Structure formats: C-alpha cells, structure tokens
C-alpha cells in the first residue's frame, strides 16, 4: 500500500501517523508539503494528521482546507482513493467539504486530553474491517474543538447510511447523553463520506499501536488499510 502524509504548518502528529503506517505496511509513507499541487503517483491512501494547522486561525482547519494540495486530495478522493483525517485532519476534511458537518468548540469549553472508549459502528469499510462490529476500543483524545455538529437532515442521512464510524461510549460500550466528551451530536467520534473512502475521526488511533504506550487498539485501523 502506498501512503502519503500531508504536512501543513502547525501539524504535529505526522511522526505518529508515519510510525503507525510503517508498522502496518512495512513501507515508508511519502511526506507531501501543503504547498505542493500534486500527490505522488499511484497512491492508495492520503492521511491528514492532527495538530494545530495555522494555529487554528479563523476556524480549526479552515486555512489548511484551502491549501494548494487540497485540490489534489479532493481529486484523489473523487477517484475513490482513501483519505484519513485524524483530529485536526478531520476538521480540515470537514472544512474542505470532503466530509459533512463541522467541529465546534467543546460544549464544556475545555480542552480534553485523556483516554476515551469508542464503539466501532461500521466494521465493513476499508478503514475498519479488522475490527468487530460493535467492538469497544480505547483511543486517546486531545482536542478543544471536537463537538461534531451538522443540520438535522444531514445527521439523519449519516445515521441511516451507516456513516458513523465510531461513537464515544463508556467501557461497556454504552452510549448515552453523557458519553460524548465534547458535546458531539449522537456521540459521533468519526464519520465516513457517502462512498466510505474518506474517514475523519477526532480520537488518535495512531497513538495506540504499542503496548508500551497505553495499548494497541489503534493497530486494527492501520491493518485494515494495509490489508
């Protein structure tokens, strides 16, 4: 599998994503600077890592979403190529219109940085096929703007089409009004586009790939992509 990581100014998780991809694929991912206009040929996967692109100026991800490389990322997605956005990468994909909705300030106005259980809602996609349906996994979250919001029609469509990838839950997999750490509608932690080749999620699966550092629940996501 050929993967590329897009680097925007202010991104800081590109090293973690690179490590997770190397572990899963055995290959070195390409690194592409945001000011480029072209992606390397023959790519299967493009990853937009987490961080604070442009210092979160204007709105999180808003400036990065208009970077020159994003036209090529959009073309890659339109061809059916895989795109993964984590945390700030999720915000960028929403701002770029590649995913529905928007990530607003956490409802309790606090930056949350902790381990968080999420439930795998759809395990039949290129991103999640190595998980079991309904599997409860533990990922790290670290964000101030993870409050997923979309209009009622969009939420209904996302839910009806099985496009919720992960939902915040408790250790037993229960989802309730209080399971979202940021106020996200329906405890949505990650969503797919309508073709299931673009995924954005707030939690950091790339940080859960090593038993020395908290667990390995994130490995299956990268193994799914490499399979």
Partner 1 sequence: MKARVIVTLKPSVLDPQGKAIEGALKGLAVNGLTSVRQGKVFDIELDGEDHATARNKLGEACERLLANTIVETYAIEIA
* Residue of 12, 66, 113, 133 interacting with partner 1 (CB under 8 A): 66
Query: b/e map of 168-206 (b: 16 or more CB within 10 Å)?
Result: bbeeebebeeebbbbbbbbbbbbbbbeebbbbbbbbbbb
127: its two tokens: 């991103």
Q: Does the annotation mark 113 as catalytic?
A: no
Catalytic status, residue 87: yes
Which among 87, 94, 95, 169 is annotated as catalytic?
A: 87
CA distances from 139 to 33, 100, 118, 177, 220 (A): 27, 23, 7, 20, 12
**121 belongs to the catalytic site:** no
Identify the active-site residue in 34, 76, 117, 204: 204
Place of tokens 């061809």: 79
CB closer to partner 1 out of 150 and 202? 150
**Residue from the set 2, 22, 30, 102 that interacts with partner 1 by CB under 8 A:** 102
Site membership for partner 1, residue 150 (CB under 8 A): yes
- For 20, the 3-state DSSP assignment is helix
Q: Does the footprint of partner 1 cover residue 58 (CB under 8 A)? A: yes
Residues recognised as catalytic: 87, 204, 206
Q: Which spans of this chain sit near partner 1 (rule: CB under 8 A)? A: 58-59, 62, 66, 95, 101-102, 104-109, 149-151, 183
């Amino acid at each position: 599998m050929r993967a590329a990581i897009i680097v925007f100014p202010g991104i800081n998780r590109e090293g973690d994503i690179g490590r997770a991809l190397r572990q899963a694929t055995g290959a070195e991912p390409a690194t592409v600077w945001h000011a480029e206009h072209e992606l390397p040929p023959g790519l299967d996967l493009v990853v937009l890592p987490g961080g604070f692109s442009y210092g979160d100026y204007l709105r999180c991800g808003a400036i990065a979403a208009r970077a020159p490389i994003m036209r090529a990322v959009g073309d890659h997605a339109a061809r059916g190529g895989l795109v993964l956005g984590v945390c700030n990468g999720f915000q960028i994909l929403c701002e770029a219109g590649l995913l529905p909705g928007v990530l607003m300030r956490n409802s309790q106005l606090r930056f949350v940085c902790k381990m968080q259980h999420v439930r795998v809602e759809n395990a039949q996609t290129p991103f999640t096929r190595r998980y079991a349906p309904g599997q409860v996994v533990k990922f790290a979250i670290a964000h101030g703007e993870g409050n997923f919001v979309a209009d009622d029609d969009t939420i209904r469509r996302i839910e009806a089409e099985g496009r919720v990838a992960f939902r915040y839950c408790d250790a037993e997999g229960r989802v309730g009004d209080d399971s979202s750490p940021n106020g996200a509608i329906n405890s949505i932690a990650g969503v797919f586009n309508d073709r299931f080749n673009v995924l954005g999620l707030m939690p950091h699966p790339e940080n859960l790939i090593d038993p020395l550092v908290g667990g390995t629940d994130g490995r299956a996501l990268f193994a799914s992509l490499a399979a």
